[in-house]
Structure 1
C-alpha cells in the first residue's frame, strides 16, 4: 500500500513539473512578443520543447542531491558549496539548454545555427534567467533544510549529553560504588586514620570535578587526564597494584575531548574484567595519529556482567556529531581497544 502511495506521489510530482514547464514556455512566448493564439502545430511544438527543456533542467535537483552527499555542506562550507553548485548547475544546464534547442530548432525545424541565433539569443537569455531563479529556490531550500537538521541534531546532542552525564554520575553514586567506597573507607579508618582522611578528601574532590564537568561540551585533554587520574587513585585504594595504568602524556596539548570520556572507558575496563593478583588489569592510554587510544587487557568473568551497553553508543554518537573522523571500537581475544578522535578547533566548525 505504501509503495503504491509513493508511486502515485512520484507520478503526480512529474505531472506538476510538466505543467510548470508548459506554463513557463507560454510565459516565454509572451515575453518574446508572441501570441497565445497559435496553430495546433505551434502549440505542439511549444509543449514538446517546454517539456524537453523543463524535465531536463528540473533534473538539477537530482544532480544536486548526488553531489550534495559528498561535496556540498551549506552550513560547514558555504562558500565552497556555492561555487561547486554554481559550476555544476551551469555546466549541466548548458548542455540541456543547447541540446533542447539543437533538437527542436536545428534537427526538427532544420534551422541553421546562424538563423536560430537571429531570434534565439533572447530565448537562451530567458532560459538562463529562469534556470538561475529555479536553482536559487532549490539551493535556498537545501540550505534551510540542512540548517534545520543541524538545529535538530544539536538538540539531540544536548539530550544525549545530559543522558551521558546522568549515566556517568549515577554510576558513581549508585549503591554498589558507594558500598565499595565505604568498605575502603572503613578499612582505612581501622588501619590508618590519616590515610582515611586523605581518601575522603580525594573522594570529595572527585565528585566536585565530576559535577563541574556536567556543564561543558568539550574539555582540554590534559584536564581529562587529570580527572581520570583522580578516579584511578580512588580505585587503586580498592584494587592496589592489581590495576596497572600507563598514560603517555606527550602530545596532549591543543587537543580536546568530551568530558568524562576517559573515566567512562576506564570504568568499563574495571567493570567487565577480573581484577586481582592473578589477573592484573593492564590499561594503556596514549595518542596516535590524532586519536586518543585506550587499550586494556581482557580477563572476563566466568559469568560476564551484563549491561545496557549504551555508554559507548552514546559517546560514539556525540563524537560523530562533533567530527567526521570515526569513533573506533576493536574487540580482540586478549585486548579491548577504543580509539577516540581528538577534537581540534576546526572540528568544532561542524557544530556551527
Structure 2
C-alpha cells in the first residue's frame, strides 16, 4: 500500500518534468515551421528580454532539480540511518536474556533454602537489569560504567556457583572513553557459559581491559572441557559482530583463539 501511494505521488512530478524538458524542443520546432530555413539556432532572433526570461526560467528549473536531488539523497541516508538504528535497538534487546532466566531459576531454588543469599542475589540482579534496560538503550556510556557492569556480573556468578572459580580482572583505564553499551558482556558471558558451567573444578576466567590513546582493548581467557561436544555459540557472537559493524565500521577487530583446552577472545575498538 505504501509503495503504491509513493508511485501515485511521483506521477504528476514526472509528467511536469517531461513537459519542461520538451519546452526547448517545442520552441525549436516552432521556429522551423514558421521560417523557411533548413535549420535554426535556439532563441535566435528573439528579443533580448525574452531570451533573458527563458534563460532565467531554465536556471530556476536547474536549481529546483538540484534541490530535489539533494532532498532525495538526504531522505535516502536518513532512511538508511533509521533502519540501522532500529536494527541496533533490536540487537540490544537480545543481549543477556538467557543469563537472566538462568539466574531466576537459581533464585527459585534458593528462596526455600537460603533466604539471605536469595535476597542478595535479587538485589544484584536488579542492579544489572536496571543497567541493561536504562543504560543499554543509550547510544554511548562511559567505559567505567561498562567495567562496573562486568564486575557486577562476576559477583553475581560467584554467588550462583557452589564451586571455586579463579577469576582475575585487570583494568588499566587511562581515559574514561565513551563506548557502545553491552559490548564486552557477551564475551564475558561466553567465558562462563562455555567454560565455567561445564567444569566441576579448576575453572578459571581471566579478563583484561585497557584504554589509552583513543583505543580500547578487551581480552578474555578461560579453560573448558575439550571432551564435550562443541556448543552452538547462539545469537550472542552474531549479535556482537553485527553491532560492531553498525557502530564501529572499519574501527574494530574481533578475534578468537583455541589452544587445547584454553579459549581466548580479543576485541579492539578504535575511538
- Aligned equivalents of 1:235 and 1:26: distance in 2? 81
1:170 aligns with 2:97: yes
Structure holding more strand per residue: 2
Answer yes or no: is the 8 Å Cα contact 2:248–2:269 preserved in 1. no
- Aligned equivalents of 1:228 and 1:280: distance in 2? 16
Please name the residue that 2:189 is paired with.
267
Count residues with an aligned counterpart. Answer: 240
1:244 aligns with 2:207: no
After superposition, the CA RMSD in angstroms is 4.3
Q: Work out which of the residue numbers 115, 118, 133 in structure 2 matches 1:211.
A: 133
Please name the residue that 1:308 is paired with.
234
1:41 aligns with 2:33: no
- Aligned equivalents of 1:129 and 1:332: distance in 2? 67
Q: Work out which of the residue numbers 220, 244, 257 in structure 2 matches 1:332.
A: 257
Answer yes or no: is the 8 Å Cα contact 1:329–1:337 preserved in 2. yes
Shift of residue 223, structure 1, vs aligned partner: 1.6
Post-superposition CA distance 1:2-43 (Å, at most 9, x none): xxxxxxxxxxxxxxx99976643555899xxx7763456315
Aligned residue for 1:42, secondary structure, equals: coil
- Aligned equivalents of 2:208 and 2:28: distance in 1? 71
Shift of residue 283, structure 1, vs aligned partner: 1.9
In structure 2, stretches of 5+ residues that fail to align are 1-16, 43-49
- Aligned equivalents of 1:177 and 1:196: distance in 2? 10
- Aligned equivalents of 2:92 and 2:149: distance in 1? 14
In structure 1, stretches of 5+ residues that fail to align are 1-16, 47-121, 343-352
Answer yes or no: is the 8 Å Cα contact 1:224–1:259 preserved in 2. yes
Aligned residue for 2:138, secondary structure, equals: coil
Go from structure 1 to structure 2 and tell me whether the alpha carbon gap of 1:132 and 1:19 turns closer, same or farther (over 3 Å shift): closer
- Aligned equivalents of 1:250 and 1:148: distance in 2? 40
Aligned residue for 1:247, secondary structure, equals: strand
Answer yes or no: is the 8 Å Cα contact 1:296–1:336 preserved in 2. yes
- Aligned equivalents of 2:194 and 2:56: distance in 1? 65
Matches within 5 A, 1:1-352: 23-24=23-24, 27=27, 37-38=34-35, 41-42=38-39, 130=58, 133-134=61-62, 136-151=64-79, 153-161=81-89, 163-174=90-101, 176-180=102-106, 185=110, 189=114, 197-237=119-159, 238=161, 240-252=164-176, 255-273=177-195, 278=202, 280-297=204-221, 299=223, 301=226, 302-309=228-235, 311-322=236-247, 325-334=250-259, 335-342=264-271
Post-superposition CA distance 1:90-132 (Å, at most 9, x none): xxxxxxxxxxxxxxxxxxxxxxxxxxxxxxxx98997797467
- Aligned equivalents of 2:106 and 2:91: distance in 1? 23
Structure holding more helix per residue: 1
Go from structure 1 to structure 2 and tell me whether the alpha carbon gap of 1:159 and 1:198 turns closer, same or farther (over 3 Å shift): same
Give TM-score scaled by structure 2 length: 0.65
Answer yes or no: is the 8 Å Cα contact 1:265–1:294 preserved in 2. no
Give TM-score scaled by structure 1 length: 0.52
Go from structure 1 to structure 2 and tell me whether the alpha carbon gap of 1:332 and 1:323 turns closer, same or farther (over 3 Å shift): closer
